[in-house]
A and B are shown apart, each in its own frame.
Chain A
């Protein structure tokens, strides 16, 4: 460690590689934090966690008892055990607010630009926008079904849309600037459980549904432009452009828009073998070219898609499904990279929140009562973080401090950080009298 600092000073090691080396070292050795603890005052399972993106200072959590809490994770409220454990109490807890949610809060996210606003979505069919300083509900959107997830794009400069994934088949975009709905995206055949904005473009949205499909939408156009299919696979990373040997293949990669109108609208009706019999002269609606992908029934998972996470470089997407699989997709080619993560079982009823480190080397996945850290490219399990008493629902990795926050059904929020070396001087100084105590003194010494 010191040698590396010396190298950086002398210029042998570039600052960026120094930073990434330290960060990856710290990220690969996470333990239940021995110096930091969050005092959770939730009375229901913690469903959603997010640290704000601007300063990395405030953690927002939403729980199943309709309560929210904000923690300042950098300044502790008090210290315990002789100053060794910092306890953070929530700054803001809201349970009985008259405009608050009535049922469980399933998602709570910060406004990406600053911490003045945050957005919550709940099983009571409402999405509310809150002002943080006054704790008042500023805007309220009513959805047709339970809200599973909301997302706002952190790259957006020209829109302030909240994408809402509900148990309704349509994904709605709510506009914060006007208070109305911007548009709806249809194409899924069942409720939508996961929604993520792309990390490379402010217009691209990725959604995962209970039907197992993952769709990519460009919100400026109608319909989705891509549906991920688990049988389209490539063996690992794509070969660089110079080497055009096709390691990736697919028999029917780009689904060409169906020219036959009669067959095109068949998926809207549930008849199967009657397709050929309906001649083109029948009065079926012509489908808008953008909606042709609604017939694409490719699935990314054999069950529901429970969580999505895009890597920060915008090249890969991780998706967790209720078939107990975590898949890594190459976004550009739309192929499954066939990395196998060893998972035995995932909880299937609730959406889960995944986390990825910034250099996309480790992915944290809540598997039942533990959080497993996998190496993204080889699929091997690096660490198993066992600390919760019940199922873990969400996790968030803070790049700033290399800490992982996890929340579960046991109403606790646990902090996982690289171990901090407790300095020995803490034992030597007696805090009360400010005199250095002898080495063999303890609390009962005279």
Chain B
């Protein structure tokens, strides 16, 4: 059964009324506006006016909203979920028998078949941070936790990257951490950083424009060699050594320990967020490790707030599930 609602107003009202505790999606995938309501004991914080998307496999069913305290009333839309609570367990580094991998994390009753949909959904759910304004980005491990086939994710990311729809950044928070950001969001973030740099130094530097036009648009890879960077920037004008220092100071380029000759593209002004990511991961893992059996009920866990990280619990849970440090197990009762 699909409920179709004609007006957008209704959707907005719907969300604002029941906003924070329900998962609602609007899709245009099928061609006409549909509201899919998938509710469950997993709750997501949705503010009114959030941009939301529906994966195209979800169907609707009416069910009473508002009974948040009674999780058994809300059943999920996926066919084979039994209404049960789930626990999170810290996975040891090598695991023994693989448990039922039925993804029962927070919002994922809905296993997305499409990487793009997952990306857009996660960008929409990016937590709001008070001190810095950061455009939404997604960690690659988060994608792995929501889309089942990882090879498919890798390949779709590769084709999206080649089409320049999104950019991939290698982060220094771990061995293989990559952040994905949509091109528009990255350009917005970059402009903000450039503007703040220019007001600080009180001058207009053409190198930023050359960077954006020549380097970003022609090099979709996450890293660039020194020679190539110079040759691409020279297309815009004469490049001096100080220009590269400007780019590094603005946070657009960085160097990593792996290779002293390569520059890596970076998202400017997210230093505190990256710190939050590493500390939040450690805190969450230590939280679970301190428990008696190293596991905890998901419903309780998701309500906690991490002390050291400005990002919300859902962000970290997805990240750790995708990288394999945590796993979910269904429990009866």
Contacts and interface: CB of A to CB of B under 8 A. Distances in A.
Contact of B91 (A267, A325, A344, A379): A344
What interface size band does chain A fall in? 35 or more
8 A-B pairs with the lowest CB-CB distances in the bound complex, closest first: A368-B94, A344-B324, A340-B150, A338-B154, A379-B151, A340-B151, A235-B155, A345-B93
Contacts of B98: 381, 384
Contact of B162 (A236, A249, A276, A344): A249
Contacts of B151: 338-340, 378-379
A370 B219 contact: no
A235 B221 CA distance: 16
A370 B92 CA distance: 12
Interface string B154-166: 1100110010000
Contacts of B225: 297
B258 interface: yes
Interface string A376-414: 001101001010000000000000000000000000000
A415 interface: no
A276 B230 contact: yes
Interface of A is mostly: loop
Q: How large is the interface on B (under 10, 10 to 19, 20 to 34, 35 or more residues)?
A: 35 or more
A233 B160 CA distance: 13
Contact of A275 (B170, B227, B323): B227
A345 B323 CA distance: 10
B70 interface: no
A161 B132 CA distance: 61
B117 to A, nearest CB: 19
Contact of B175 (A236, A302, A386): A302
B230 A340 contact: no
A293 interface: no
Interface string A342-359: 111100000000000000
Contacts of B91: 344
Interface of B: 91, 93-98, 149-151, 153-155, 158-159, 162, 170, 175-176, 218-223, 225-227, 230, 241, 244, 258-262, 323-325
B227 A263 contact: yes
A302 B226 contact: no
Interface string A167-207: 00000000000000000000000000000000000000000
Contacts of A339: 151, 154
Given A235-B158, A236-B155, A342-B324, A297 B259 contact: yes
Contacts of A340: 150-151, 153-154
A196 B70 CA distance: 60
A17 interface: no
A435 interface: no
A324 B93 CA distance: 12
A133 interface: no
A297 B256 CA distance: 14
27 contacts: A231-B223, A233-B158, A251-B218, A251-B219, A251-B220, A251-B221, A272-B226, A272-B261, A273-B241, A276-B230, A297-B261, A302-B170, A302-B176, A303-B175, A338-B155, A339-B154, A340-B154, A342-B324, A343-B324, A344-B94, A344-B95, A345-B94, A367-B94, A368-B93, A369-B94, A379-B151, A384-B97
A323 B177 CA distance: 10
A270 interface: yes
A340 B155 CA distance: 9
